[in-house]
Structure 1
């Protein structure tokens, strides 16, 4: 669910004000709070169940293949571009450990890839909002796993468009197939589905 200003009211409710609201509410509100150009998005993602198990299995499968200096990070902080007014929190961030040695949000351009597991409560946040925001932030690869349908997609090759940067390449997959995320190919077998 998106709350707060649309483009017409954006100037009256600047990014820093939304950032302050997110920081103050983060520990008392379940799920994730993120900021897009449309306002604050509240995603009621449950940390357990099929969503959490999918995140865990994908993270483990990718980390087995990565060199030691890289991580498939699932914690905080967020990725942020203040100039664009966007704050996102990927389920998994593929990032070099040296780029994690920072205070505050990660520079989204330091990510090798972002991985999201579609939430049951707000699928458009992953399929629409993040396919718009991640190329804007400079995240080179974006992978989506959708437990609703047992399918997903990997987006890459950022290119300019009149609406802003977008991914030029989309590779769809169904659960059971191998999928390549950045440089690493992982199995999608045995990933749970929503019931």
Structure 2
């Protein structure tokens, strides 16, 4: 599947990811409020973090070849040293993955990534949902009969402070999608 996605780069619009269920294709490019939310979260986190860490919003993807999963979080908290090298990031080096829910495919963030991120060993997953002005921070991976899952979920509303791993940031003035 990875080879197929590489051949699709720049030929089809949207974003591709490989999940346990197959390929996810988000056909619409993120809207301005999606990108603004990711940017504000990134900047707020980086104000709280040490210089050895970064809240990264670019490429590459995170990939686990043994699991057959390739994802691209909107924001990845990772050590600068773990960004060195070629190819996809090792998902086990991420401190947190942060997603801004897609207006066109919210199930990808609320269902698929909630399943895949603990399987990849990403210890903290934060979801910001501009459709509802709410979100959740998931942590504490534990085994279940259906595979690893997050045991702890802390819900929040926009306007409240939210703690992602060790860092607390404001959700004040995060944009919402137009209805």
**Structure 1 and Structure 2 fold alike (TM over 0.5):** yes
Q: Deviations over 1:6-51 (max 9, x none)?
A: xxxxxxxxxxxx1011111122222210001111101135344110
For 1:104-143, what aligned pairs fall within 5 Å after superposition? 104-143=87-126
The reply to whether residue 57 of structure 1 matches residue 57 of structure 2 is no
The reply to whether residue 19 of structure 1 matches residue 8 of structure 2 is no
**2:77 & 2:56 partners in 1: Cα distance?**
6
Contact 1:37 1:86 in 2 (8 A): yes
Counterpart in the other structure of 1:100? 83
Q: Secondary structure at the match of 1:61?
A: helix
For 1:13-52, what aligned pairs fall within 5 Å after superposition? 18-52=1-35
Counterpart in the other structure of 2:142? 159
Unaligned runs of 5+ in 1: 1-17
Contact 1:51 1:147 in 2 (8 A): yes
User: Structure 1 segments of 4 or more deviating over 3 A?
Assistant: none
Q: Deviations over 1:91-145 (max 9, x none)?
A: 0000000000021010000000000000011000000000000000000000000
TM normalised by structure 2 equals: 0.97
Q: Secondary structure at the match of 2:141?
A: strand
For 1:82, which of 61, 65, 73 is the aligned residue?
65
TM normalised by structure 1 equals: 0.89
Unaligned runs of 5+ in 2: none
**1:84 & 1:137 partners in 2: Cα distance?**
8
Q: CA RMSD in A?
A: 0.9
Counterpart in the other structure of 1:146? 129
Contact 1:175 1:191 in 2 (8 A): yes
Contact 1:26 1:32 in 2 (8 A): no
**1:157 & 1:172 partners in 2: Cα distance?**
15
- Give the total of aligned pairs: 178
